[in-house]
Structure 1
Amino acid sequence: MAIQGKNSKLLSSCRPTITLDPILWLPMTHEERSRCIRWRLGWLPGGAPKPCPYHPNNNLSRRHAISCLNMHRRLCMPETIADPISFLLNMLPTRTFVPSSIALSWTCRWPVICSILYELDQLQHYTIIPYKTPHGQKLIEWLRQFN
Structure 2
Amino acid sequence: MTVHERSRLIRWRMGWLPGKPQACRNCNQIDNLTTQLHVIICFQICENPDMDIHAFLNSLPKSPPRSSADKIYWKNHWIVLQQFLYHLESICLPPDEPIDPTTYTDQSPFIAWINGSSPSSTTTPSPAHA
Equivalent-residue separation in structure 1 for 2:55 and 2:107 (angstroms): 18
**Unaligned runs of at least 5 residues, structure 2:** 118-130
Secondary structure of the residue that 1:145 maps to in structure 2?
coil
Q: Does the residue aligned with 1:134 lie in a helix, a strand or coil?
A: coil
* Alpha carbons 2:64, 2:116 under 8 Å: kept: no
2:65 aligned residue: 98
Partner of 1:64: 38
Distance 2:6 2:106 in 1: 12
Q: Name the TM-score, length of structure 1 as normaliser.
A: 0.66
TM-score normalised by length of structure 2? 0.74
Residue of structure 2 in register with 1:139 after alignment: 110
Percent identity between the aligned chains? 32
* CA drift at 1:96: 2.7
The aligned counterpart of 1:14 is none
Matched ranges for 1:1-147 at <5 A: 28-45=1-18, 47-53=19-25, 54=27, 55-73=29-47, 76-77=48-49, 84-93=52-61, 95-100=62-67, 101-127=69-95, 128-132=98-102, 134-135=105-106, 137-145=108-116
Rounded Cα–Cα distance in structure 2 between residues aligned with 1:67 and 1:57:
14
Contact map agreement 2:64 2:114 (CA 8 A) in 1: no
Distance apart, 1:104 and its partner CA: 2.4
Quote how far apart the aligned CAs of 1:98 are.
2.5
Compute the RMSD of aligned alpha carbons.
2.1
- Please say if residues 110 and 136 of structure 1, whose CA atoms lie closer than 8 Å, have aligned partners that are also in contact: no
Segments ≥4 residues shifted beyond 4 Å? none
Q: Point out which structure has higher relative CO (alpha carbons under 8 A, 6+ apart).
A: 2
Residues 114 and 136 in structure 1, CA contact (< 8 A), matched pair in contact too: no
How many residues align? The count is: 111
The CA deviation string for residues 106-144 of structure 1, in whole angstroms up to 9 with x for no partner, is: 111101100001111011014442232523621111111
